[in-house]
Every structure is written in structure tokens, then in C-alpha cells.
Copies of this chain bind each other. A is one copy, B any other.
Amino acid sequence: MTFFNLNARLEGDSHFVTDLTLCSVRLMKDANYPWLLLVPRKPDLVEIIDLEDADQQQLMREIAAASHVLREVTDCEKLNVGALGNQVSQLHVHVIARFRSDAAWPGPIWGAAPAEPYEDDRVDTLIENLRDAFSDRDS
């Protein structure tokens, strides 16, 4: 049997936020945009359709939860959701809070601007606020 392992690049580029039923939620190390990753904790997944049907449905519930949490915590103007995986094949879903003033608006964020480091206290507060909002939703 194979076990779930988080891709090293995804792990290095993001901070752990919380675990939902299916996915680990991580915050990308890029202060340009509040940017979450949902990574299903199952081995050998590349496409959404590699998930069993029930897990696809759970993934949608967790995309919705992450969307509500991001909007509540960041008061964003738009949400972007994407599963690309052209560079890191392990299945991961991006849920991104967008603002008309952000570094890539109105384009997609991928490859648009170099990652901007967070100040430590700012990222700690953001992660804490995200954890509180996820636990309030009990997803």
C-alpha cells in the first residue's frame, strides 16, 4: 500500500494551516495574495477525476469552505479556484483571494509576480485567523 506524501516543492512553498476531512489546507508563502492550497491526503493523485466520486464531492465541499473562509478573513473582491498541476503533478487545488489592486489583476496569479515574503507576525496572524474561521465552520 502507498501512503500520502506531500510533494517537497508544495511543502517548501507553503505553511500548514489545518486538516479538513479530505484535504490539508496550506497557505502559500506569497504576500501578494492570500492564497490557499487544498491537498487531498491520498496517494497517487494527479487529476480531480483520479479521486473517487465521494471524494470529488468532498473536495467541492472543502473548496466551498476555503472560499467562505478566505472571503471572511480577507474581505476579498473575487475568488479564483484552480487545479492545474502542470509543474507539480500531485493533485492540489488553489483557492485565491483576489483584489483589483493586487499584483496580477485581472490576470491569473500563476507566474505573474515573484513571491513576496510575509512578515513573520503578519503570516502568523493570518494563519491563526484562517484556522479560527475553518474551525468555526467545522468543515
Instruction: Please give the residue numbers on chain A whose beta carbons come within 8 Å of chain B beta carbons, in ascending order.
Output: 46-49, 53, 56-57, 59-61, 63-64, 67-68, 71, 78-87, 98, 105-108, 110-111
Partner of A60, one of B56, B79, B87, B107: B56
A85: chain B residues at CB < 8 Å are 78, 80
By secondary structure, the A interface counts as mixed
Q: Is the CB of B80 within 8 A of A106?
A: no
Given contacts A48-B64, A49-B64, A107-B111, 4 further A-B contacts (CB under 8 A): A47-B67, A49-B71, A78-B85, A79-B83
Q: Is the CB of A87 within 8 A of B106?
A: yes
Distance between A139 CB and nearest chain B CB, rounded to angstroms: 12
